[in-house]
Structure 1
Amino acid sequence: MNVGKIALALWVVTVGAFAFYFVRGHTSISTDQRRAIQLSVEEKDFVLAEMRSLLSSVNGILRGLHEHDMIAVAEAAKSAGMGMAVDASPLLMVKLPLEFKIMGMGLHEDFDKLSVDIKTGLNRDQVIHRLSELTSKCVSCHQIYRLSSDRTD
């Protein structure tokens, strides 16, 4: 076997392994039967911080609706959009299962779309309905997944 064939075989194995982990992520079944995503402490902290930012955006949307300030509602929705998702490291993205990544990126896209639609005239009831749809995705994800690390706190 020549060196070229060996190199090609190693490349195929490497790409195949990367693709497998990109789809599957680094998960196990947790004691509560959810899929535990195995992350480093820093990665877990990063994902949890992003989730807290999403919750803060939802709070901003609700506050703006209460105050009848649709500009603030649109800004709060935009703050949870795709701009928030740009800081994730490639190593973290490999560890997250494909379905988790699809739900997360879809959620950010939905917040961007909500922001645009608010600016083009959604009323309060329509925003509340859309927000209910968005947060149902959060609930669904939390029912399926949990984050796990070696830290015991």
Structure 2
Amino acid sequence: MKRTKENWLFGHPEDRNEISGLRKFDGEDLHYQERKKAQQETQKKWLEEQKQEKERRRQQELEDERMYAFQTQQANRMRGLLEDELERKKREMQASTRDSNIMLNREKKDREDLEKQIKLRSEDDELSHQTQIRIVPPYSNPLN
């Protein structure tokens, strides 16, 4: 190793700590082990954080998928209920329309039957009246 002179910028040359009086040599790293250990710990910490973050993302994705499936299921269930309700209302409306049509048909038939009976009665009365008019009473001589 190459020896260098003392660094005089940070203290007086008489403040020597080692026997030789040299404090630093070129290429010497006095805190290499500590720095390397700190870097390894930092790297290990970052790796753990990345693992935890990845696991959180995976859990979040699973939760999102589960919520989406649940919402889809609820929407399908609601759609089914609404379709069933719509079909029930359609059947009720069709039954109501059918009943109403049957009732209107009966009323029309009753009205037509009544009109037919009235017409027949009227014709019978007219015929009876016509026959009475045509009947010639026996001839009686008014001079007698």
Q: TM-score range by the shorter chain?
A: under 0.3
Structure with greater proportional strand content: 1
- TM-score, length basis structure 1: 0.20
- Quick one: higher RCO (CA 8 Å, sep 6+), 1 or 2? 1
